[in-house]
Structure 1
Amino acid sequence: MTTADDSRPATISELRMVRDQLNGRIDNLRDELNNRIDDLRDEMNRRIDDLQRMMLWGMGLLAALMIALMGVVLSGV
């Protein structure tokens, strides 16, 4: 491997420096990706909770409506 300007072969220390820089970038990208995954997982869980809450309210309202209708039917009105 040569230097950026191809003027000479890269030294071991230069190669190690580049390796360390690349490893640092990889670590940063991995951290960013993990943070994004966590954010998406949290958002998905919030949406699931909202959907479950809506379903519970919907079922509760439907049950209340059916009970009221049954009361009207049984009262003979």
Structure 2
Amino acid sequence: MTTADDSRPATISELRMVRDQFNGRIDNLRDELNNRIDDLRDEMNRRIDDPQRMMLWGMGLLAALMIALMGVVLSGV
């Protein structure tokens, strides 16, 4: 490999420096990607949990209403 201006062959230390820079960029990109994946996973879980929670509340309220209505009917009021 040569230097950026092709004036001479790159030294081992220069190659290592470039490698370390690329590894640092790769690590940063990997961290950003993992953070984005975590954000998307959290958003997906929230979108799944909200309707489930609403459905459970609705079913619970409906069951409570039915129990109250059965109590009224059975008591003969």
TM-score, scaled to structure 1? 0.74
Residue 31 of structure 1, CA deviation? 0.5
Deviation readout 1:23-72 (Å, 9 max, x if unpaired): 00000000000100111111111111111023224444665787799899
For structure 2, the 5+ residue unaligned runs are none
Paired residue secondary structure (1:54): helix
Aligned equivalents of 1:28, 1:34: Cα separation in 2: 10
Matches within 5 A, 1:1-77: 1-60=1-60
Q: Secondary structure in 2 aligned to 1:47?
A: helix
Deviations 1:10-29 (A, max 9, x none): 00000000000000000000
* Alignment partners' CA distance in 2, 1:29 and 1:7: 31
Where in structure 1 do 4 or more consecutive aligned residues deviate above 2 Å? 54-77
